[in-house]
Amino acid sequence: MSRDALTLCEECDLLQRIPPLPESAAAHCARCGHLLHRHRPNSIDRTLALTLAGLVLFIIANSFPFLSFEMQGQTTQTTLISGVRDLAAQGKGEVAAVVLFTSILAPGLQLLLLAVVLFPLRLGAGLPPGFPTLFRWFKTLVPWGMMDVFMIGILVSVVKLADMATIVPGTALFAFVALIFVLAAAQAALDPDVVWERVPMPANLRRMPAAGEAVIGCDVCELTVPEREALLDRRGRLRCPRCTDVLHHRKPQSLQRTWALVLAAAVFYIPANLYPVMSVTSLGRTQSDTIFSGVVFLLTHGMWPLAAIVFVASIFVPLLKLLILIFLLLSVQLRSRWRPRDRTRLYRVTEAIGRWSMVDVYVVTILVALVHLGNLASIEARAGAVFFCAVVIITMLAAMSFDPRMIWDALPTEPQPEHDGHPRAAH
């Protein structure tokens, strides 16, 4: 599959032509460095094979024992869903829903959607009905699948319980670990362009925009739409002629939404760190743990690499993310022209690191599922976990609602030789 098309960069809105790429080569934006396109050979076959393998692993991971907890002759056996069920039973339904969605539903639905779209394509039956919606859901779900973060949560939990009991991994755990890699490989093998190109389109949309003509980049299918060719819906909004999603020059109310979410997260950050996230009852004695005392526990037990991971993920990352977003928001509002490329990089960092903060939420989930032997030993989720979970989700939403193209809007518009601008090709 080769491609020679005009593309608007998602992150800085520069219009540029992507030359046909050799196998596995990637084209990056000439201005901000964003990955515009990577040529992935045999995309449909490889993605489908990995998806089917992933579905099998997903079923195993959800039907067999996940971890067992053995203490003084008593055994608790858990499955992947146990933690969700126990959190809900302890009145922490919000956290249970987030854990269910990020560790089970989002990865499972991604695999299902890929299979539903790619299987008919592979058989030569064309695209399934409702294809653009299915593929849009897939794209939306990707950042919410957090099995890799869950895995770190398992490691931390096992270390925490090592003094107290024996933890035995079950069949499902091995399938779960394999699934992390298979799903990542499926996402990496997928070239969405190859699929979108199968959507029949009128010839006038395939035309190159004239010099200086207004164009909008579709956020979903990444088609560069000349504004005159966009569809108009009943509410007067422009829609993409290929995927029918609403077209925006910029994410709607990006500044207001991001500010609102940043402030909400900053408020929740305080109780998230002050209140205990869980309480541990052992031999009749109850002790509460905040996020910080959890870090101290790991440190005093000589587990400094894990202590460092939890400290960075739970305390440092949310704060850093909020500070970076506030800095970016202010720089956009002051129409700063300072280092737009570096500010775009900072934005990418906030998008990439946010999900790792979920680690502590997963630790609480796993511990709650494993340890309930009444007065002998039991662990209960507390209010801090709810606030902390809210901080992670809200900061992720804040980063998603920020539009990095605003960083570039303050720069003087360059004369428009951009139609012939070639992005850097890198291997």
In the complex, the residues that contact Zn ion under the rule CB under 5 A are 9, 11-12, 14, 29, 31-32, 34, 218, 220-221, 223, 240, 242-243
Shortest separation between residue 35's beta carbon and Zn ion, angstroms? 10
Give the whole-angstrom CA distance, residue 281 versus residue 288: 9
Shortest separation between residue 404's beta carbon and Zn ion, angstroms? 9
> 403 and 118 in contact (C-beta within 8 Å)?
no
Give the whole-angstrom CA distance, residue 118 versus residue 138: 12
Place of tokens 């956009």: 332
φ/ψ (deg, to 5) at 169: -70, 145
> 13 and 344 in contact (C-beta within 8 Å)?
no
Give the whole-angstrom CA distance, residue 273 versus residue 310: 13
Shortest separation between residue 249's beta carbon and Zn ion, angstroms? 14
Shortest separation between residue 129's beta carbon and Zn ion, angstroms? 17
User: Which two structure tokens, joined as six digits, stand for 419?
Assistant: 């139609």
Count of C-beta atoms within a 10 Å radius of residue 252:
11
Shortest separation between residue 242's beta carbon and Zn ion, angstroms? 5
Q: What string of DSSP letters covers 269-321?
A: HHHHHHS-SEEEEETTEEEEE-HHHHHHHHHHTT-HHHHHHHIIIIIIHHHHH
The nearer residue to Zn ion, 105 or 199, going by C-beta atoms, is 199
Shortest separation between residue 29's beta carbon and Zn ion, angstroms? 3
The nearer residue to Zn ion, 220 or 397, going by C-beta atoms, is 220
The nearer residue to Zn ion, 32 or 306, going by C-beta atoms, is 32
Do the strands 377-381 and 166-169 form a parallel or antiparallel pair, or are they unpaired?
unpaired
Shortest separation between residue 247's beta carbon and Zn ion, angstroms? 7
The nearer residue to Zn ion, 216 or 393, going by C-beta atoms, is 216
299 class by beta-carbon count within 10 Å (0-12 exposed, 13-18 middle, 19+ buried): middle
The nearer residue to Zn ion, 29 or 392, going by C-beta atoms, is 29
The nearer residue to Zn ion, 139 or 301, going by C-beta atoms, is 139
Do the strands 35-38 and 26-28 form a parallel or antiparallel pair, or are they unpaired?
antiparallel
The nearer residue to Zn ion, 243 or 396, going by C-beta atoms, is 243
Give the whole-angstrom CA distance, residue 370 versus residue 352: 30
Q: Which amino acid is at 212?
A: G
